[in-house]
């Protein structure tokens, strides 16, 4: 059609736009007569404005619809993002509220890696509201229960007695100290997982040690053969290491104040752990440390009878009693009473001490120790006596005790069968 020079499409009932070529643009009007509705850029014909406008409107409508759809989807996407952020924020706030980070809250439970409210409810449930059948021990400040949590972990729950529950002033100070005690990390100290201070129940949560207490092991004949001399020496070493850590390695020294056989617990390997820090106190090095009496009679230092000023030497005395109890298999109250005046000028008591052989006061349910084990028993006995001075100043520090036990260099070697308590006590009294 580009080579056309003239056309005549009249009376053909044609409609629509003319082709945009020269022959159609220069054709006369008569060439287009008799058609329905031709349009275009030719003489006598209308331009195709209407058709063109409709096409533009259609294209524009499609664009508007596309933009509208994109806008709607964009708004929905943003709303979903905002909703997700809000939900995450609310969850974080809820978890933060469940974390008991303040001691002065009435419903506080602080425990590592757990939701406090959930664990509180779990403990109430698994112990059947502290049913007696779950009780594994009882002390002056509370009753201890075994709690098998739903996640498989077993913990020891020490529920404070009702009298302490009602004393909120003491409980507030008690829980503030627990917060600091949670920071203690030593393999011979029971891990304190957390605590609960609640109007219904107040309790402590510890790791559970299935070996039981030293008191229980020494009183059960079936355990005695297993609890041999080596394990006993290691028990004394473990307690000494723990007390040395508390007295000398903590940022603020801690006095336990209740070292006794009921507060030394064993795991299944008979590794000793000091427990029950309910009476523990932080020692202020810059002032006197006055407190009410706390501890167990028979283990408490004699100076507590006439003064309430305590220091770490109170724990040292209790350790001496405990060390003798470990090697004797029973509490040494009678022996301590009979030897308490051996350092004085009393010839009668000195003679009595000289007549008692160390081998005769040891636990007779076991065969006598031999060789190096016997020498270590001598060291334990000597250190125990050095800790039992009636006055605090001559007693060694727990750091000194732990160091001597670690070195295991007895001064009286190969004399186990002939050494007397008087000899040990005399060496103790004359040593610096």
Catalytic positions:
258
Binding residues for ATP: 159
CB proximity list for 16: less than 8 A, separation 6 or greater: 37, 38, 39
Residue 429: Cβ-neighbour burial (10 angstroms; 0-12, 13-18, 19+): middle
Give the integer Cα–Cα distance in Å for 32 and 356: 146
Report how far residue 242's alpha carbon sits from residue 272's, in angstroms, rounded to the nearest whole number. 9
Rg (CA), the chain: 45
Contacts of residue 432, Cβ cutoff 8 Å, sequence gap at least 6:
none
Cα 322 from Cα 318, distance rounded (Å): 6
Query: Known binding site: residues?
Result: 159
Nearest Cα residue to 319 out of 402, 252, 249, 420? 402
Which residue(s) pair with 46 in the sheet? 39
- Which DSSP helix (H) or strand (E) runs through 265? strand 264-266
Residues 253/282, Cβ–Cβ less than 8 Å: yes
Question: What is d(CA 272, CA 249) in angstroms, rounded to the nearest whole number?
Answer: 19
Tokens for 257, please give them.
Answer: 């104040």
């Amino acid at each position: 059609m580009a080579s056309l020079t003239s056309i005549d499409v009249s009376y053909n009932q044609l409609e629509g736009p003319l082709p945009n070529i020269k022959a159609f643009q220069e054709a006369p009007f008569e060439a287009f007569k008799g058609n329905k509705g031709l349009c275009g850029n030719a003489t006598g014909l209308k331009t195709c404005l209407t058709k063109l406008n409709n096409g533009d409107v259609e294209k524009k409508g499609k664009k508007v619809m596309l933009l509208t759809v994109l806008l709607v989807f964009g708004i929905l996407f943003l709303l979903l993002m905002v909703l997700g952020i809000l939900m995450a924020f609310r969850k974080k706030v809820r978890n933060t509220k469940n974390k008991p980070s303040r001691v002065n809250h009435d419903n506080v439970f602080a425990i590592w890696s757990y939701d406090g409210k959930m664990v509180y409810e779990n403990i109430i449930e698994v112990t059947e509201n502290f049913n007696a059948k779950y009780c594994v021990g009882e002390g002056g400040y509370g009753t201890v229960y075994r709690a098998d949590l739903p996640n498989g972990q077993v913990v020891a729950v020490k529920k404070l007695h009702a009298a302490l529950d009602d004393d909120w002033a003491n409980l507030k100070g008690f829980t503030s100290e627990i917060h600091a005690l949670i920071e203690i990390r030593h393999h011979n100290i029971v891990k304190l997982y957390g605590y609960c201070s609640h109007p219904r129940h107040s309790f402590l949560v510890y790791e559970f040690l299935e070996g039981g207490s030293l008191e229980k092991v020494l009183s059960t004949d079936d355990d005695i053969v297993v609890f041999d001399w080596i394990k006993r020496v290691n028990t004394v070493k473990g307690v000494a290491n723990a007390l040395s850590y508390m007295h000398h390695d903590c940022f603020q020294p801690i006095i336990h104040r209740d070292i006794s056989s009921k507060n030394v617990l064993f795991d299944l390997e008979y590794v000793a752990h000091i427990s029950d820090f309910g009476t523990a106190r932080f020692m202020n090095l810059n002032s006197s440390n006055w407190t009410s009496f706390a501890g167990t009679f028979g283990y408490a230092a004699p100076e507590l009878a006439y003064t309430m000023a305590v220091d770490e030497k109170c724990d040292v005395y209790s350790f001496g009693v405990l060390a003798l109890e470990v090697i004797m298999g029973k509490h040494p109250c009678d022996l301590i009473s009979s030897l308490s005046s051996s350092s004085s000028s009393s010839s009668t008591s000195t003679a009595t001490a000289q007549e008692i052989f160390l081998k005769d006061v040891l636990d007779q349910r076991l065969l006598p120790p031999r060789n190096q084990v016997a020498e270590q028993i001598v060291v334990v006995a000597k250190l125990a006596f050095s800790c039992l001075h009636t006055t605090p100043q001559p007693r060694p520090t727990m750091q000194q005790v732990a160091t001597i036990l670690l070195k295991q260099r007895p001064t009286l070697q190969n004399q186990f069968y002939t050494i007397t308590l008087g000899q040990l006590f005399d060496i103790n009294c004359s040593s610096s």
